[in-house]
Structure 1
């Protein structure tokens, strides 16, 4: 019986029984007994890393938890290396990891034996969008310029911080398809994180990079070495991204939603899940979080563990069809 169920049952029992149940409910309450390992399954600089470090900082600064959240980067395989490590730590209530569409896409593409069903959903936190970046001095003035060049020279490439068949790849493939190109022919170059993809872009190794708008927001603006060609949001975003046109404004009817959330180890105890659900829900109400969220261009999209789990199942069904259409579905 979960903590929530116990409390609900107590409301309908005779008052004489409440004293006994009170002690039982308190016994089921859980708090961390050591610091929490909070894993970003990629190198520093990408969307998972940004989420982990931002939430950890806000939780600490707002005094929401007695134990600290230690950000740990475990790169490789578009997330698969970290997932394999976490899967071996079943039941550990002191280990969390940031998640987003690759937890669905990478297994569907056949490059991870673990998928979302192997882990414990904790909470969905935010929605972000994709953004296409070029060097500030690039000859491409808009998305149509870029895709005209890609069509004329299939050897030109677009980089991203996720594995083939994963989030950034799907995002640029869908965009290219909507722009009239054969999505399967887009020369996508995967990097181990958004930071490495940006370095490659500035080194002239790729024509453009597709990444999360939130992680790019702090690198744009006056004097930046980067310039944004478009964002996958249905309408213009605020803050430092206010001047970035949407794909639709450029005649390309396509949007792409990058949700991000938190998951835990397999078979995490229900009382630990309840603790983290409550913690992240309270975090979203703080001034510190709201300031960071707005600065990064994120939108709150909270779901508790149960709703998040249902959402992940629906995402798996949706992305299975998308990958199949692109010929990227694994065996």
Structure 2
């Protein structure tokens, strides 16, 4: 039986906030004077990287931004290396970074001296979901097949692109608990990003990989070397993931939402925050964004800077309970 705390992961909010934004031009309105460094705190191929490159491409194609958004990868420490660099650039309005649950989880686990309160929330953009992948020639056809094998042989491992106690680990731990295993018994192997985790899966170094559905979408389909066993959404996704059953369809009562958004440097000027809020809200209404979003199986979940900040505080409370249950909370 899934514990009450892990079950609470299913209630991560999905508000479809109205995208009405004040766009009146004022004389003091800020605009960027050079290219914006848009940091993905991981190697290429993961969820942060996918968000950064998709947003940068859509902004350019839709001609929404005055300056180019330059995608930059800064891997290491489940995000901690990038956060340490960004923290030293206080007040810089030309630097942004992609964020998601590890921004809360990694500091709680004691792996980063910086947490979300050290940076400037800009906007939440979307919600993604977790997906379990195995090699196409693996013997597992369902989530239950995989977890039966894990029960039989606890040495079998599940890889992920985030640090222990971070997003992928929490997601698979909750799933394992819902499937009747002790969450702490899952042999989770962390890699430096989703791309690295996939490489190790194909090399036979792990039995399965848990990653973001969006980043896996382009690697599935006819002729793929991967097979998706299930997705953490409450109902089936669209596009290339339409044939992937949910966990709930397979009798495992569990969902997990991966929110993704954008944050800025410490003490980013208020007028710069307003500029980016408006820019991202406008982007979400474009055809280019909606096409990319649907291909990746994302769901719009916009929040303004203030709303996103409040949401992050709530996430810290929730995940503190989860990590405590797994014995991973820094004391």
**TM-score (normalizing by structure 1):** 0.92
Tell me what 2:111 maps to: 111
In structure 1, stretches of 5+ residues that fail to align are 1-6, 8-21
Q: What does residue range 242-261 of structure 1 map to in structure 2 within 5 Å?
A: 242-261=242-261
1:155-234 paired onto structure 2 within 5 Å? 155-234=155-234
1:28 match: secondary structure: coil
Runs of 4+ aligned residues of structure 1 deviating over 2 Å after TM superposition are 25-28
CA distance in 2, matches of 1:171, 1:32: 37
* CA–CA distance in structure 1, aligned partners of residues 316 and 250 of structure 2: 30
Deviations along 1:57-94, one digit per CA (max 9) or x if unpaired, are 00001000120000000000000000000001000000
Hey, what's the Cα distance between the residues in 1 that align with 2:84 and 2:109?
16
Deviations 1:95-141 (A, max 9, x none): 00000000000001110010000000000000000000001111011
Where does residue 239 of structure 1 map in the other structure? 239
Tell me the CA shift for residue 330 of structure 1. 1.2
Structure 2 CA distance for aligned equivalents of residues 122 and 71 of structure 1: 17
Aligned ranges 1:31-180 → 2 under 5 Å: 31-180=31-180
- Cα distance in 2, alignment partners of residues 113 and 28 from structure 1: 36
Q: Using the TM superposition, give the Cα deviation of residue 26 of structure 1 relative to its aligned residue in structure 2, in angstroms.
A: 3.4
Aligned partner of 1:262 in structure 2 is 262
Q: What is the SS of the residue equivalent to 1:26?
A: coil
Give the CA deviation at 1:265. 0.2
**1: CA distance between counterparts of 2:153 and 2:277?**
49
For these two proteins, the number of residue pairs brought into alignment is 309
Please say which structure displays the higher CA radius of gyration. 1
Q: Which residue is 1:273 aligned to?
A: 273
SS in 2 for 1:211: strand
Shift of 1:260: 0.2
CA shift at 1:27, angstroms? 4.1
What is the root-mean-square deviation in Å for CA atoms of aligned residues?
Answer: 1.1
Post-superposition CA distance 1:29-75 (Å, at most 9, x none):
10000000000000000000000000000000100012000000000
Which residue is equivalent to 1:11?
Answer: none
Give the deviation of 1:228 after TM superposition.
Answer: 0.3
State the alpha-carbon separation in 2 of the partners of residues 32 and 237 from structure 1: 37
**What does residue 30 of structure 1 align with?**
30
2: CA distance between counterparts of 1:252 and 1:282? 38
User: How far, CA to CA, are the matches of 1:207 and 1:299 in structure 2?
Assistant: 29
CA deviation vs aligned residue, 1:187-234 (integer Å, no higher than 9, x gap)? 000001000000000000000000000000110011100000000000
Segments of 5+ residues of structure 2 without an aligned counterpart are 1-21
